[in-house]
Chains A and B, each alone.
Chain A
């Protein structure tokens, strides 16, 4: 190795930077991981909650409110959620989330006089057909989320609202 390869000053510079960087990383790593924890935490499962008896359901979407237990960090509470539920022609129960897929406002059934029998979001005039499919040309880019649902002993149980592929 010739003397020109690395000077004494350079060697010391590298060593100091290396050791200093290692120490700084060791100090910062736990803190950064601590701050990023919410991103890396796994989502929580949600219990199926009894919402209504199936007899209440009709072919017309009806809004049902139900309470779920929510754990938000150190804060646990009962939160009210809503679903638009109807019985399809083939007897399937469809439960749609009322949260607009555009920017999260709340949609309502059949409130836009010029477009009857659709879900309507007043914020940016978003519309969805009865099965939750977003109407092309309106603001939302995806259909309404569908709740996991289950009918047991004549009662409707709902779980988490899951997103669907865009229309």
Chain B
């Protein structure tokens, strides 16, 4: 049945080359853990991506209950965690996944660094990777405020004070991030928008570029 549907579409649109192009590529022996167990270090990039997918999915589901409003934010988080079935698990996935993404990304960066895999011709991919790193930190920073509890509030106050210390543009950066004079209602909605729309969009674009480049250039050779 599935095969028939696929054939029907393929006959008309010739989709096979599209996915063949993505799916068919040789995995060199030196990155295959079945040949050399130490090749497991090549998994960290993929793991980062895998956890990112979990973050996007669990985040989408969390917004079904979450409200970015100072009166209701904490209550809605409390409700989704304690009253909704599997709320603890879905929120837990997003909470722990956030830390795990940073860990995996760090390990991936270490691997690339110590293998010198960032060298010519892959410098540009390193740069994009660093941009992804900053976007991830931004996602972590903006997401931290959303539960609107004491920890979130004061962590954000400190974070914005840090932004304030940038020479010249500090005060502007502070007002821009807070959306006003104080960390309050406007900060919360602003952080929510950045967390669920702006940064994920940037992240998807950068990840696309990251993957395109690795496919174009191929993975770096053995040490």
Contact = CB atoms under 8 A, between A and B. Distances in A.
Do the two chains bind? yes
Interface of A: 27-28, 30-31, 33-35, 37, 40, 73-75
25 contacts: A27-B57, A28-B57, A30-B86, A30-B89, A30-B90, A31-B57, A31-B61, A34-B61, A34-B80, A34-B84, A34-B85, A34-B87, A34-B89, A34-B90, A37-B85, A37-B86, A40-B85, A73-B65, A73-B79, A74-B72, A74-B76, A74-B78, A74-B79, A75-B72, A75-B75
Tell which of A28, A31, A37, A40 has the most Cβ of chain B within 10 Å: A31
Interchain residue pairs A-B with the least CB separation, the first 3: A74-B75, A74-B79, A30-B86
Contacts of A73: 65, 76, 79, 83
A30 B61 CA distance: 10
A35 to B, nearest CB: 6
B58 interface: yes
Given A37-B86, A40-B85, 9 more contacts: A31-B57, A31-B90, A34-B64, A34-B84, A34-B86, A34-B87, A34-B89, A34-B90, A73-B83
Nearest to A31: B61
B54 interface: yes
A30 B62 CA distance: 12
A33 B80 CA distance: 12
A73 B54 CA distance: 26
A160 B128 CA distance: 60
Specify the main secondary structure of chain B where it touches its partner: helix
Nearest to B76: A74
Contacts of B90: 30-31, 34
Nearest to A76: B75
A74 B78 CA distance: 8
Contacts of B78: 74
Contacts of B85: 33-34, 37, 40
Interface string B85-112: 1110110010000000000000000000
B19 to A, nearest CB: 15
Contacts of A28: 57
Interface string B130-152: 00000000000000000000000
Interface in B42-88: 54, 57-58, 61, 64-65, 72, 75-76, 78-80, 83-87
Contact of B58 (A31, A33, A74): A31
Q: Which of A28, A30, A33, A40 has the most CB of B within 10 A?
A: A30
Contacts of A31: 57-58, 61, 86, 90, 93
B65 to A, nearest CB: 7
A40 B84 CA distance: 10
Contacts of B65: 73
Contacts of A27: 54, 57
Contacts of A30: 86, 89-90, 93
Contacts of A37: 84-86
Contacts of A35: 61, 64
A34 B86 CA distance: 6
A28 B86 CA distance: 11
Contacts of B83: 73
Which of A28, A40, A74 has the most C-beta atoms of chain B within 10 angstroms of its own C-beta? A74
A34 B91 CA distance: 10
A73 B80 CA distance: 9
B79 to A, nearest CB: 4
Given A27-B54, A27-B57, A74-B72, A33 B79 contact: no
A33 B88 CA distance: 12
